[in-house]
A and B are shown apart, each in its own frame.
Chain A
Amino acid sequence: MAIKFDGEFTVATPREDAYAVLSETQKFAPLLPSYQSHELKEDGSAVVKIKVGVGKIRGTAKVNLKLEESEAPISARYAGKGSVMGGVFNLVATFELEDAGQGETHVKWQGELVMFGKLVSMAGGMIKPIAKRDIGRMIEAIQAALSGEAGVVAVPEPRVSPVAKLLALWKKLVSLVRGLVRKQK
């Protein structure tokens, strides 16, 4: 199953600074959606751990991420190969940077995510919207990172809606009460 994505945005950051973020694996890796940690390897690639979840299939995916091509300060191309319980995926993401004047940079991005395995077979119908959502989050994180202080990457926190927070609180409360009831029995 292949999912292609593309888009563009403009950030109030000089092209060189934007390129510095996008072309350094150490800075780029934390921008992946649901990022947990990463480890740099000698060849410059990184093993990035991200949280994934489709329905009841949840776990940690390992992505071998590598900056495959780059041309300062014009473009950067990453390739990743990941695995998660029940599936594997290949990821390619390319960023082209144009000077938009007045210290701004116009970023055109495109990529492809190709997934294989039981994950696709079992949750194929749900994957596309989730992948699109996660790609959207990644782009938001990149925009945030590029808009921030050059060289400082803000790792985005997972978004939790107020309703979800309330729901989680309620579940904890119910669980606590149930535990007490069981103890009394």
Chain B
Amino acid sequence: MSWVGKSLRRKEDDRLVRGNGLFADDEQVEGMLHLYILRSPYAHARIRGIDTAAAESLAGVACVLTGADIKEQCDPYMQLGPEPCDKIIDLPLATDKAVFQGEPVAAIAAETAAIAMDAGQLIEVDYEMLDAVVDPEQALEDKIVLHEAAGTNRVWHGVYEFGDVDKAFKDAAHVVKIDRMHFHRFASAPLENNACVAEWTRQGDVDFLCNNSFIGFAVQLLAPGLRLPMEKIRSRTYDVGGSFGIKIWNYVYMALAALASRKSGGQKVKWSETRTEHLLASGHGNERTFLDTEVALDKDGVITGIRSRHIDDCGAYTRYEPLGCVIWAQVLPATYGVRNFRIDFTQTVTNKCPVVPNRGYSRMQHLWFMERVVDICAHELGIPADEMRLKNYVREFPYETPNGCVYDSGNYPMMLEKAKELVDWDEWKKKQAEARKEGRWLGIGIGTTLDSGTNNFGQAQIMNPYLPFSGNSEVCVIRLDFDGSVIVTLGTGPSGQGHETAASQVVADELNIDPSMVTVRTGFDSAWNTFSGHSGTYASQFAVTGLSAVHGACEKLKVEMRQLASFMLEADEDDLEFGVGDEGPQLAVKGTDKAINYWFMSNVVNSNNALLCGNLADVTLNVRHVYRPPFEVPDTEKKFGNLTLTYAAQLHIAVIEVDKNTCKPNILAYAAVDDCGNVINPQIAAGQVHGATAHGIGAALMETFNYDETGNLLTATFSDYCPITSMNIPDIQYGHIESPSPFSYNGAKGMGEGGGAPLHTVSAAIQDALHSEGIIVNESHHSAPRVFERINAPNRKKVVSVESR
């Protein structure tokens, strides 16, 4: 019986639905202190002085940290980017200047959270308010510079040119010009905010119970920041209530809790973020503006070339950036066969919350851009949206993109066909015709997207050739335990993706046992999980990296089990077979009743090893495997190379009616088709698709970070930043196809981020609804007020023009 491919109920859910999960904020220890972070009310201000005397004298306060402590005890976090990024000083607290609203300026540890908060109000910070810059184009003028040492807000610039762009435009039958498009700023709203409990022990070690989702990477930045060797830091997670990439960067706050613990004499210090803090200062998704886009098409509507200028706004600090300036190139042509590109890419800092790798990181923005290009061209040239896509889809796989990425497998026309069936396309086309006769604004939109998974970290060298990162890896340790069950530890540190279940399924198949006999350790502990510098849960890669590591470890374990069984049963290894006997899972000699079960094998190695008489010294039944995908370092000059191993795809169709009275877009029907290759657990995959769809619909219709001109975030509560809930999610007609990846051992492709498909789809449907009103949808957010503004100021003549020859 094969467990892979079955909807095995998630092992994690038993404890989670019973309230037995353990999250960082659940930790309660006698004498534990609580941390409050005092944050800058200004988006840009010089800190002239801080008076902490009143706060420090408040009963119950253990210690107060200010920039002075930080300067004394910390080194700035390593910057990934080349000059001028390396001049940016990023510390756990602002020292001389705050550069975004919500930036920490002081931290107070006290006996209770309430005392810590009260003490925070007693701290007098003498700010000199400075002008803020929140518009990325204005930021590039450098009239207001955030990081004076860097001398400029422009943190990265590069030109991506592939093919013969000029020839494509010279030969074009049509050139469509799009003046400006804008992808808005939003993030994720994990159920659990950032949190940690830190203890700086008397031995000089730091212990964290936290919910960081990329510990392998975080520790590499945290340790030097705290001037500690890596082995001095122990980071643990247990259950994590969602991350979506946001929690990759919470180590900035973990450092504050650790420093407060040290200053208070080694007491444990808990920091638990409020929702407003999370929205204000944890991390946002990249905001991107696309300017001067020109699209070359042949007479049939096949796109032959694109040139454009992109400005990415990464907020106040570069942190994970400027990686986003390269990551998008994993999906350069999206799902289309365009061969000629010139993309001028610039990234700037602004006085807004720093960005982090939010779900669909950097590729989603570019995929939205490509989908808008295809969709706008279709409307302008009078080509039906489905035909336009069929004319342009990549059809042959593996497909090498113009920049050297290799799309492993796929069948986009089949996905389109399936989505049309699910949504009842023909029927809605008829209804649309009737609605239009009645003057109603009803649109049908298609969004095709990619979920590129398993990064080649070598792409970081395109951004900065001196970075010591390339390839990718994940680690699994597997042990046959005393009772014959199997214990698995992973480096992945999941945040709700069901790794315990999926890994159990793989192990169960490999070792011919029931998944209930497999225990996958919950969470992550750097003290006992072995891990690599790439370990973590991000970039849609577990099904490939995590499970390949599990698979490899199982293979190694089986080799040892065969050696042991061969010795014990006095049989040739080739004559052995895995199976289940009267005493459970076993290795038996084919055609005989000679067998040794798993319990006895473990017993012989661990407790009864005199039976081995000194033989098989290397057999431990406790093996480690590191999976490394077959990557090479890209050509950094040409920006050419394979940046990702697998390319899952999603195709969505939405039917949307824009209410003529309220301008509110209402989803009338929605279909989502997924292709993540061979599916390990269909229920988990379906859950990921539904989650990503909900997230994208929320972003398209409800969720946006709005700043005023002085850099105040105006949407820092769930009243204003309206996250999608089950009440707002439409019924989703879900389907999937399977085009197995030739590059993963199991044919699976990483998935879960979803590629922002609903953003593309909702934009396309609203475009279809409102094109006749002279409106070009050139923004990604469509709340009723935004649609109202658009309807009252038709932009087609201003935004788009077509030259036909």
Identify the closest chain A residue to B707 (Cβ): A121
Q: Are B710 and A87 in contact (CB under 8 A)?
A: no
Q: Are A117 and B710 in contact (CB under 8 A)?
A: no
CB contact between A116 and one of B101, B276, B717, B719 (< 8 Å): that residue: B101
Cα(A119)–Cα(B121), bound, Å: 13
Known: A117-B41, A121-B280. A1 touches B716 (CB 8 A): no
Question: Shortest distance in angstroms between A20's beta carbon and chain B's nearest beta carbon?
Answer: 33
Question: Shortest distance in angstroms between A118's beta carbon and chain B's nearest beta carbon?
Answer: 6
The verdict on A120 contacting chain B, using a C-beta distance below 8 Å, is yes
Q: Are B276 and A1 in contact (CB under 8 A)?
A: no
Question: Shortest distance in angstroms between A152's beta carbon and chain B's nearest beta carbon?
Answer: 35
The verdict on B708 contacting chain A, using a C-beta distance below 8 Å, is yes
- Residues of A close to B710: CB separation below 8 A: 1-2, 114, 116
Cα(A36)–Cα(B298), bound, Å: 74
Interface residues in A78-92 (C-beta closer than 8 Å to B): 83, 85-88, 90
Identify the closest chain B residue to A121 (Cβ): B716
Identify the closest chain B residue to A116 (Cβ): B41
Q: Are B41 and A88 in contact (CB under 8 A)?
A: yes
The verdict on A122 contacting chain B, using a C-beta distance below 8 Å, is yes
CB contact between A124 and one of B121, B280, B720 (< 8 Å): that residue: B720
Q: Are B127 and A88 in contact (CB under 8 A)?
A: yes
* B711-724 contact mask (Cβ, 8 Å, vs A): 1 or 0: 01111110110000
Interface residues in B122-173 (C-beta closer than 8 Å to A): 127, 129
The verdict on A125 contacting chain B, using a C-beta distance below 8 Å, is yes
Q: Are B121 and A1 in contact (CB under 8 A)?
A: no
Cα(A69)–Cα(B391), bound, Å: 71
- Residues of A close to B121: CB separation below 8 A: 59, 85
Cα(A87)–Cα(B280), bound, Å: 14
Q: Are A88 and B713 in contact (CB under 8 A)?
A: no
- Residues of B close to A120: CB separation below 8 A: 708, 712, 714
- Residues of B close to A121: CB separation below 8 A: 101, 276, 279-280, 712-717
Identify the closest chain A residue to B721 (Cβ): A121
Q: Are B41 and A87 in contact (CB under 8 A)?
A: yes
- Residues of B close to A125: CB separation below 8 A: 719-720
Question: Shortest distance in angstroms between A125's beta carbon and chain B's nearest beta carbon?
Answer: 7
Known: A117-B41, A118-B280. A1 touches B714 (CB 8 A): yes
The verdict on B247 contacting chain A, using a C-beta distance below 8 Å, is no
The verdict on B39 contacting chain A, using a C-beta distance below 8 Å, is yes
Interface of B is mostly: loop
* A-B residue pair count with CB separations less than 8 angstroms: 57
Known: A85-B121, A90-B129. A117 touches B42 (CB 8 A): yes
- Residues of B close to A118: CB separation below 8 A: 39, 41, 102, 276, 280, 716
Question: Shortest distance in angstroms between A62's beta carbon and chain B's nearest beta carbon?
Answer: 10
Known: A90-B129, A122-B276. A1 touches B41 (CB 8 A): no
- Residues of B close to A115: CB separation below 8 A: 712
- Residues of A close to B279: CB separation below 8 A: 121
Known: A1-B708, A121-B101, A124-B720. A116 touches B42 (CB 8 A): yes
Cα(A114)–Cα(B716), bound, Å: 18
* B102-121 contact mask (Cβ, 8 Å, vs A): 1 or 0: 10000000000000000001
Q: Are A1 and B712 in contact (CB under 8 A)?
A: yes
- Residues of B close to A90: CB separation below 8 A: 129
- Residues of A close to B127: CB separation below 8 A: 88
* B278-315 contact mask (Cβ, 8 Å, vs A): 1 or 0: 01100000000000000000000000000000000000
Question: Shortest distance in angstroms between A128's beta carbon and chain B's nearest beta carbon?
Answer: 12
Cα(A116)–Cα(B43), bound, Å: 8
Cα(A60)–Cα(B720), bound, Å: 25
- Residues of A close to B717: CB separation below 8 A: 121-122
* B688-729 contact mask (Cβ, 8 Å, vs A): 1 or 0: 000000000000000000001110111111011000000000
Q: Are A117 and B276 in contact (CB under 8 A)?
A: no
- Residues of A close to B280: CB separation below 8 A: 118, 121
Cα(A59)–Cα(B101), bound, Å: 21
Cα(A85)–Cα(B720), bound, Å: 20
- Residues of A close to B709: CB separation below 8 A: 2
Question: Shortest distance in angstroms between A53's beta carbon and chain B's nearest beta carbon?
Answer: 15
Interface residues in B1-53 (C-beta closer than 8 Å to A): 39, 41-43
- Residues of B close to A116: CB separation below 8 A: 41-43, 101, 129, 710, 712
Identify the closest chain B residue to A86 (Cβ): B41
* A118-161 contact mask (Cβ, 8 Å, vs B): 1 or 0: 11111011000000000000000000000000000000000000
Q: Are B129 and A117 in contact (CB under 8 A)?
A: no
Cα(A2)–Cα(B711), bound, Å: 12
Identify the closest chain B residue to A59 (Cβ): B121
Identify the closest chain B residue to A87 (Cβ): B41
Identify the closest chain A residue to B715 (Cβ): A121
Cα(A80)–Cα(B101), bound, Å: 21
- Residues of A close to B712: CB separation below 8 A: 1, 115-117, 120-121, 124
- Residues of A close to B276: CB separation below 8 A: 118, 121-122
Question: Shortest distance in angstroms between B396's beta carbon and chain A's nearest beta carbon?
Answer: 51
Cα(A69)–Cα(B43), bound, Å: 29
Question: Shortest distance in angstroms between A174's beta carbon and chain B's nearest beta carbon?
Answer: 27
Give the interface of B toward A (CB within 8 A).
39, 41-43, 101-102, 121, 127, 129, 276, 279-280, 708-710, 712-717, 719-720
A-B contact pairs, 9 of them (CB 8 A): A1-B712, A83-B41, A88-B41, A115-B712, A117-B41, A118-B41, A120-B712, A121-B280, A121-B713
Q: A2-B709, A114-B710, A122-B276 are in contact. List 12 more A-B contacts (CB 8 A).
A: A1-B714, A2-B710, A59-B121, A88-B42, A116-B41, A116-B101, A117-B41, A118-B41, A120-B712, A121-B101, A121-B715, A121-B717
Give the interface of A toward B (CB within 8 A).
1-2, 59, 83, 85-88, 90, 114-122, 124-125
